[in-house]
Amino acid sequence: MLQLIQRISGALLALGVLTSFCIFTVTENELAIRSQFREIVGVDYAPGLHLKWPIDTVRKFERRIVSQSFEGETFLTSENRGLIVDYYVKWRIKDAGRFSQAFGNDPNAAGQRLSDIVKDGIKNAVAQRTLQQIVSAERTAFTGDMFERASKSVGSLGLELIDARVQKIGLPADVESRVYASMQQSFFRLARQLRGEGEKDALRTRAEADRKRTEILAIAARDSLKIRGEGDARAADMYAAAYGKNAEFYAFYRSLQAYKNSLGKEGDVMVVSPDSEFFRYFRASGGDKR
């Protein structure tokens, strides 16, 4: 009985060992390839348990995005001025089979190769522009074309380029102060030009406003004189009509207006002869001269 138990245990142990050589697991963060005698016989394994032959070799790679930063890279502009550029790339393995053929099992080699491709793209983009164009333009303006070309190049290596960005653009210390001084003078000239154009436009606008104001006032004065003249003419016509109907009453009314405007004001002094024509209607109610 003991020998039977030992045999069964040995068989189970051998089965377990054999099973361990015939299965492998893949997690959600991994890519795996299966090869026989260095020839790839299986790729694109989903997460979970998978079968293999004992003679098969399984290699696993990182499925997640890898970020790498590169600092202090020097590039030359179209003016042969040096730029110190810091940039980063984000990538991941898209085709584990091609990646294995290109780099074996070394992700550092893949990152360096990808960096060289991106660096060449930045170099070409910077070499086609002046320093002022690079500084004043959006960084994506000269890295967009580089990103597209790099994405096509890394496709054959089993990689996918997620992102490539320029983080910082600097100048060597010996030329930084001269370049900034030159750019400052250039911006000062541009500012003076814009101020001059603004003052010119302001003077033109003020002159136009003054001209319109003068025209409006002249038209208003002309119209007021015309209206006043028409009013005076109508008043004269009315006075003439009233005088023609009753001359004595008209004279009496005008005398009352004169009395009202001349007498009854505090502090006023008037020296007039009592028999003056001005007091005609005070001397007699009938209005006759006596």
**Parent domain of 166:** 66-171
Q: Note whether 139 and 160 are same-domain residues.
A: yes
Task: Give the tens place of pLDDT for each residue, 46-59.
Answer: 888 887 877 778 88
Task: Give the tens place of pLDDT for each residue, 187-200.
Answer: 899 999 999 999 99
Q: Note whether 71 and 35 are same-domain residues.
A: no
Given 171, 202, 226, the domain boundary residue is: 171
Q: Note whether 56 and 89 are same-domain residues.
A: no
**What is the distance between the alpha carbons of residues 85 and 4, in angstroms, rounded to a whole number?**
74
Q: How many domains does the chain have?
A: 2
Is the pTM above the cut of 0.75?
no
What token pair was written down for 68?
Answer: 């790498």
Q: Note whether 104 and 147 are same-domain residues.
A: yes
Q: Note whether 95 and 108 are same-domain residues.
A: yes
Per DSSP, 278 falls in state G
- In a domain, residue 55? The reply is yes
Q: Note whether 50 and 112 are same-domain residues.
A: no
Q: Note whether 103 and 163 are same-domain residues.
A: yes
Q: Which pLDDT tens digits describe the chain residue by residue (290 residues)?
A: 666 666 666 666 665 555 667 888 888 888 888 888 877 778 888 888 887 877 778 888 888 888 888 887 888 888 887 788 888 888 888 888 888 888 887 778 888 888 888 888 888 888 887 777 776 666 666 677 677 778 878 878 888 888 888 888 777 776 667 667 777 888 899 999 999 999 999 999 999 999 999 999 999 999 999 999 999 888 888 877 877 777 777 777 777 777 677 666 666 666 666 666 666 666 655 444 44
Buried/exposed 22-52: b ≥16 CB within 10 Å, e otherwise:
eebebeeebbbbbbeeeebebeebeeeebeb
Which runs of consecutive H residues, i.e. helices, occur in the chain? 2-22, 96-103, 107-127, 131-136, 139-155, 173-245, 247-262, 280-283
